[in-house]
Amino acid sequence: MSTLGKKTVDDIQVKGKHVLVRVDFNVPLKDGVITNDNRIVAALPTIKKLIADGGKVILCSHLGKPKNGPEAKFSLAPVAVRLSELLGQPVVFADDDNVVGEKAKAAVAAMKDGDVVLLQNTRFRKEETKNIPAFSEELASLAEVYVNDAFGSAHRAHCSTAGVTDYIKDTAVGYLMGKEIEYLGNAVNDPVRPFVAILGGAKVADKLTVIENLLSKVDTLIIGGGMAYTFLAAKGYETGTSLVDSEKIDYCKNMMKLAEEKGVNLLLPVDTAVLPAFPDPIDAPVELVESDADKIPADKMGLDIGPKTMQLFADAVKSAKTVVWNGPMGVFENPVLAAGTKAVAKALAETDATTVIGGGDSAAAVMQLGFADKMTHISTGGGASLEYLEGKELPGIACIANS
């Protein structure tokens, strides 16, 4: 596997060694029950590989955002139970509020080759998010080898994602992380052309650097979702009560100029689905009116792309060889306003291009709409994939040894 020069779990010897593995077990819980175990399932190939190679596997992860230290509702206890079922072997849960406590030390000391221990939520320690060396050193004291397989947290320089590598020198990425680096990294840095990027979501501000970075790499840039209305306003169009970031209008003008200079085909909506107000609740029944994108009625807001735009965007994807998509085309949580996002997902499903979905809402939309199995790769990290698309080096990847 080409993982852009990083050591992987295939490159390391772990027999008889303690291996600290940072996984992403930040799963949704309701009343202490896991409602979606996708993230646990995604980590299984790496865990099974290390078990098969005779490693003593010590897993660590965060869950949720505990505010003031330990909170019972953010315990990883339910994860240990589910992981044990999935692996078909016991997983010892070290339930220390201070993460690296007596229970963890005793469990680690008792390990035999192929055993698995899960530590308590790393964010039960306030030092974790501040990357304070003392906690990194405590985590590192448990193991001789470190593996990072948590792409969703790779853009954070925390103790368990980066700091620990100051004390453990034998490091590698897991299979999930390797796949992310391969698909996202190669798609952006070495794409098979034509290369089309699709950006959506609500705010231009969230994607400022992404737009600029992609304009130097893509052949076509498609902009939909709430952020499109600021671009339409920058063209001097009437946008009604649509979401417009007035502070970013000049930025949008500059980006359109940059696209022209670089010969990039920048596509914006030509028609839009409008409503008098944002649906409340979000999935409330709505009746749409369609409007041309250059003259949205003054008392209406655009909440999805219209049928002509769906066709325009789908046509742009047809001839592509690489497509990266980050951000929905409208308020996809509403069945009526999901039409634009669905049309784009369908277009991607029908192309033979390499299709990379950049985490977050786009991943949720593709899964919800039933197109997940038709995509080449769906990223497990929203914020991390966005920073990757910005061209940033992620701390959780940068700290891993080169191959």
Highest mean pLDDT among 265-279, 352-366, 368-382: 265-279
Q: Per the annotation, does 26 bind a ligand?
A: yes
Residue whose pair of structure tokens reads 């649509």 in the numeric block: 242
39 belongs to an annotated ligand binding site: yes
* 374, two tokens: 């038709």
Q: Which CATH number fits domain 183-389: 1.10.357.10, 3.40.50.1260, 3.40.50.2300, 3.20.20.100?
A: 3.40.50.1260
Give the separation between CA 223 and CA 211, rounded to whole angstroms: 9
Phi-psi region of 221 (alpha: psi -120 to 50; beta: other; left: phi over 0): beta
CATH 3.40.50.1260 domain position(s) in the chain: 9-176, 183-389
62 in a labelled binding site:
yes
CATH superfamily ID and name for 9-176: Phosphoglycerate kinase, N-terminal domain (3.40.50.1260)
Of 221 and 188, the one with more pLDDT: 221
pLDDT digits 0-9 by tens, 100-133: 999 999 999 999 999 999 999 999 999 999 999 9
The answer to the question of whether 65 is labelled as a binding residue is yes
pLDDT value at residue 2? 43
Q: What is the pLDDT of residue 1?
A: 39
pLDDT at site 308: 98
Strand partners, 273: 290, 304
Give residue-wise pLDDT tens across range 290-320: 999 999 999 999 999 999 999 999 999 999 9
| Residue bearing the bigger pLDDT, 256 or 182 | 256
In the chain, the percentage of residues whose pLDDT exceeds 90 is 85
pLDDT tens digit sequence for 236-284:
999 999 999 999 999 999 999 999 999 999 999 999 999 999 999 999 9
- Residue 154 token pair: 């790779």
pLDDT at position 267: 98
Q: Is 362 annotated as a binding residue?
A: yes
63 carries a ligand binding annotation: yes
Give me the active site residues, please: 39, 203, 360, 383
Show the 3-state SS of 203-249.
CCHHHHHHHHHHHCCCCEEEECCCCHHHHHHHCCCECCCCCCCHHHH
Average of per-residue pLDDT across 374-380: 91
> Is the pLDDT at 83 greater than 50, yes or no?
yes
Q: For residue range 191-235, list pLDDT tens digits in order.
A: 999 999 999 988 888 888 899 999 999 999 999 999 999 999 999
- Asked whether residue 3 carries a pLDDT value surpassing 80, the answer given is no
Cα–Cα distance measured from residue 188 to residue 386, given in angstroms and rounded to the nearest whole number: 11
